[in-house]
């Protein structure tokens, strides 16, 4: 369903001090209408559960519709540090690259 780069996986492990699953979700907002969200959270009924090496990623059913084929990566370069989302379902992204539309 989604892919996680080795750099993103390493950063998830570094940040996950409470050993909770990483929740990947989509919400309304931003210039283009939709935002990718990351948080450490508990598994909920109906979640899709992905096991990536030692990390567990949970995705709610509604968000899963917008995340199929997503590549989660992590950038620590000169242009900024943070997680990046390469979403093949995004028809357009805003100028700053934080929101998308399908």
pLDDT tens digits, 37-46: 999 999 999 9
Instruction: Answer whether 70's CB lies under 8 Å from 85's CB.
Output: yes
**Per-residue b/e over 78-94, b at no fewer than 16 CB within 10 Å?**
eeeeebebebeebeebe
Residue 97 has a pLDDT of 61
Percentage of the chain lying above the pLDDT 90 cut: 53
For residue 41, the enclosing domain spans 3-101
Domain of residue 65, CATH code: 2.60.300.12
Whole-angstrom Cα distance, residue 2 to residue 86? 10
Whole-angstrom Cα distance, residue 79 to residue 62? 32
User: Partners of 37 in the beta sheet?
Assistant: 25
Examine the pLDDT at 62 and tell me if it is beyond 80.
Answer: yes
Q: Kindly indicate the confidence band of residue 33, based on its pLDDT and cuts at 50, 70 and 90.
A: confident
Residues 15, 60, 73, 82: is their CA dihedral positive or negative?
negative
Percentage of the chain lying above the pLDDT 70 cut: 93
Find tokens 């968000």 and name the residue.
63
Examine the pLDDT at 54 and tell me if it is beyond 80.
Answer: no
Query: Which is more confident, 80 or 65?
Result: 65
Whole-angstrom Cα distance, residue 21 to residue 43? 7
Count the domains in the chain.
1
Averaged pLDDT, 21-50: 90
Residue 55 has a pLDDT of 82
């Amino acid at each position: 369903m989604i892919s996680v780069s080795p750099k993103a996986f390493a950063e998830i492990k570094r940040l996950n001090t409470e050993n909770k699953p990483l929740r990947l979700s989509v919400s309304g907002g931003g210039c283009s209408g939709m935002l990718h969200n990351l948080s450490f959270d508990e598994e909920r009924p109906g979640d899709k559960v992905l096991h990536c090496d030692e990390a567990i990623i949970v995705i709610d059913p509604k968000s899963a519709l917008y995340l199929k084929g997503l590549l989660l990566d992590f950038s620590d370069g000169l242009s900024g540090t943070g997680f990046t989302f390469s979403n093949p379902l995004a028809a357009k992204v805003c100028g700053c690259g934080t929101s998308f539309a399908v």
